[in-house]
């Protein structure tokens, strides 16, 4: 089990593994991993690594899980990266494997398809997560924020009261207590597109409070924390782009257009 480090910022882990069924987008583009898909003249993973390295929050070069050494070397595009221990299974299994393989905490976690990630997003999220003090913090963005800038993008929204939220593929693990939450997520991953099924895994009383009471996101996370015995927190990101990852060809085209606009701006 990893221990807390003396680092006053964070380590970083990029999840780059594919599910057992493979990745349809990678196959469509004829590459071994989605991390290799070309965006703006460089592999998608390299843009994530660049933003992490440009942040002032990292202790060392980011770790990457889920890629063989030669694929990581190609996908990193020359940007420093360290290979993490990889295990089979979904993202939660990959995360647990990396932590149990020795990566230290606190740990910022994102994914190789978070091509719109910027150092500003990283700095904001890590700063707010540290300030919040939860064992595990999740980055979310509101439907209102996302659709105000990108009404065409299709995202999965969690129906919190007041403001539906979409995940931003940003997680901050402050302490080993967070492993309780990660192990729960490992069991719930198969239901990731069905929020009501995930709610039911907390037990009927908590599920009914979440589904019928429709608490706002902060109250919902308090209820989840009480049920799991570890403190889960949330940072509501003010960046619409933080919620746009590359899951489909439509996502890829949108991300390419946003990055082209950034370069011209």
Predicted pLDDT of residue 78? 95
> How far is 75 from 89, CA to CA, in rounded Å?
21
- pLDDT tops 90 at residue 187: no
Domain count, the chain: 1
Residue 132 forms part of a structural domain: yes
pLDDT band at 145 (very low <50, low <70, confident <90, very high): very high
Cα–Cα distance for residue pair 195/159, rounded to 1 Å:
8
Mean model confidence pLDDT for the chain = 87
How many degrees, rounded to 5, is the angle at CA 236 between CA 232 and CA 238? Answer: 160
What CATH number should be reported for the domain holding residue 45? 3.90.550.10
Range of the domain at 153: 11-264
Side-chain-side CA neighbours of 81 within 13 Å: the count stands at 32
Query: What is residue 143's predicted lDDT score, i.e. its pLDDT?
Result: 96
The pLDDT, as a whole number, for residue 1 is: 38
Has residue 94 been placed in a domain? yes
Residue 235: phi and psi, rounded to 5, are -115, 120
Assigned domain for 2 exists: no
pLDDT digits (tens, 9 = 90+) for 69-120: 999 999 999 999 999 987 877 888 889 999 988 999 999 999 999 999 999 9
Within-domain flag for 3: no
List strand residue ranges (DSSP E) for the chain, in order: 11-15, 38-39, 42-43, 63-65, 82-83, 107-111, 136-142, 165-173, 232-236
In a domain, 39, yes or no: yes
Is 1 inside any structural domain?
Answer: no
pTM: 0.90
CB atoms < 10 A from the CB of 57, how many? 22
What the block records as the tokens of 223 is 């209820």
Residues of the chain above pLDDT 70, percent? 86
Pairwise CA distance, residues 24 & 163, whole Å:
31
Per-residue pLDDT, averaged over 111-130, amounts to 97
Within-domain flag for 107: yes
What pLDDT score does 161 carry? 83
Is residue 210 assigned to a domain?
yes
Nearest of 195, 189, 161 to residue 91 by alpha carbon: 189
pLDDT (tens digit per residue) in 132-144: 999 999 999 999 9
pLDDT by residue (tens digit) across 211-240?
555 788 898 889 889 888 999 999 999 999
What per-residue confidence (pLDDT) applies to 2? 41
């Amino acid at each position: 089990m990893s221990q807390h480090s003396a680092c006053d910022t964070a380590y970083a882990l990029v999840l780059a593994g594919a599910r057992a069924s493979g990745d349809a987008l990678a196959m469509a583009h004829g590459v071994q991993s989605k991390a290799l898909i070309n965006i703006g003249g460089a592999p998608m993973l390299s843009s994530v690594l660049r933003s992490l390295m440009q942040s002032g929050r990292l202790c060392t070069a980011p770790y990457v899980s889920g890629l063989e050494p030669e694929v990581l070397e190609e996908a990193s595009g020359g940007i420093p990266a360290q290979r993490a221990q990889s295990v089979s299974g979904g993202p939660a299994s990959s995360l647990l494997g990396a932590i149990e393989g020795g990566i230290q905490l606190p740990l910022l976690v994102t994914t190789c398809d978070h091509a719109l990630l910027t150092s500003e997003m990283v700095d904001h999220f890590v700063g707010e997560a540290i300030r919040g003090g939860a064992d595990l913090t999740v980055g979310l963005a509101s439907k209102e924020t996302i659709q105000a800038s990108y009404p065409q993008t299709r995202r999965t929204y969690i129906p919190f009261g007041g403001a539906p939220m979409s995940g931003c593929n940003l997680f901050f693990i402050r302490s080993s207590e967070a492993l309780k939450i990660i192990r729960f997520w490992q069991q719930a991953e198969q239901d990731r597109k069905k929020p009501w099924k995930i709610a039911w895994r907390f037990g009927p009383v908590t599920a009914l409070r979440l589904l019928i009471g429709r608490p706002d996101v902060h109250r919902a996370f308090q209820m989840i924390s009480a049920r799991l015995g570890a403190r889960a927190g949330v940072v509501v990101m003010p960046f619409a782009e933080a919620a746009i990852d590359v899951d489909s060809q439509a996502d890829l085209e949108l991300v390419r257009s946003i990055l082209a606009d950034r370069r011209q701006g």
